[in-house]
Copies of this chain bind each other. A is one copy, B any other.
Amino acid sequence: MEIGIVGLGLIGGSLAKAISQNTDNTVYGFDISKPVVHKAMLVDAIEQPLTDELLSQCDIVIVALYPQDTVDYVTSHADLFKKGSIVCDCSGVKRMVCEQLIPLAEEKGFLFVGGHPMAGREHSGFTYAKKSLFNNASMIFTPTKGPIESMEKLKKLFTSIGFTNIEIATPEEHDRKIAFTSQLAHVVSNAYIKSPTAQEHMGFSAGSYKDLTRVAKLNEDMWTELFLENPDNLADEIDTLIENLQEYSWAIRENDSETLRQLLKDGKEKKAIIDGEIF
């Protein structure tokens, strides 16, 4: 197949490397930075720059841009995609992308499938892209009506580059779950580090501190956009966490050991159930 990748950052660059090096598909790539496109060719991540002409030949186009840029790119190139081709995105919110692009795709004769690779690093850009980024990761698709062969083609492509789990969800389900698993984790990590104690704790930390603050160093532009495209789900998750934290604080200030023990036991058991240790 001929595959176009739009945006050669951490995700798009890693996809380009993985597809070029692990499959026999031909990859074309586009990035607003010409040096990045040049570098991607030099390291054999792409065969050629993705031109409008090549775009019209692609069987699959993967857009790896921020959500609004994804919508803008697909909208402005809607007449160029090959009839029957698949266009898939990688952005971290799915409702706003799918709501706008699925009707457009139906009108223009290509298939739009929402996608979200559950992989990342604390750094962004092609420099950090690596073909192993997706090893053992989950790929989430929020598909629409379309030929079953198209989804099979997509699944096969993504499992051939390291993904070991393909999840199918509605855009609503995706956005609700991702608010908890990813967005809330980034908010908490970013807020955790703001304690005045944080600046003087050197030598007093073990693994738990490191884990809690690992994703604090995030790209504020990207995450602001992602959060504000999922405000209901994320704010609800934050508020739920606040309410739960409040209970620990009260129990501690009241010296209420029975309540505190019960709060901790409840959290431990919920985690054990999720991890499959208690049924």
**Interface of chain A, main secondary structure:** helix
Near B by CB (< 8 A), chain A positions 254-279 give 255, 257, 260-268, 270-275
25 A–B contacts, CB within 8 A, in A order: A118-B205, A120-B207, A138-B204, A180-B201, A181-B205, A188-B188, A189-B212, A190-B248, A190-B267, A190-B268, A195-B237, A198-B270, A201-B274, A207-B214, A213-B271, A216-B270, A218-B264, A218-B268, A220-B265, A234-B252, A238-B248, A238-B249, A238-B252, A242-B246, A242-B249
Near B by CB (< 8 A), chain A positions 5-28 give none
CB-CB nearest in chain B for A231:
B252
List, in ascending order, chain B residues with CB within 8 A of A262's CB: 220
List, in ascending order, chain B residues with CB within 8 A of A187's CB: 245, 248
Partner of A208, one of B138, B214, B235: B214
Partner of A266, one of B194, B231, B267, B275: B194
Does the CB pair A181–B201 fall under 8 Å? yes
List, in ascending order, chain B residues with CB within 8 A of A120's CB: 206-207
Query: Given A216-B271, A228-B257, A268-B220, A197–B209 Cβ distance below 8 Å?
Result: no
Please give the residue numbers on chain A whose beta carbons come within 8 Å of chain B beta carbons, in ascending order: 118-120, 137-138, 140, 165, 167, 169, 174, 176-182, 184-209, 211-218, 220-221, 223-224, 227-228, 231, 234-235, 237-242, 244-246, 248-249, 252-253, 255, 257, 260-268, 270-275
Partner of A215, one of B195, B208, B214, B272: B208
**A174 to chain B: closest CB distance in Å?**
7
**A206 to chain B: closest CB distance in Å?**
4
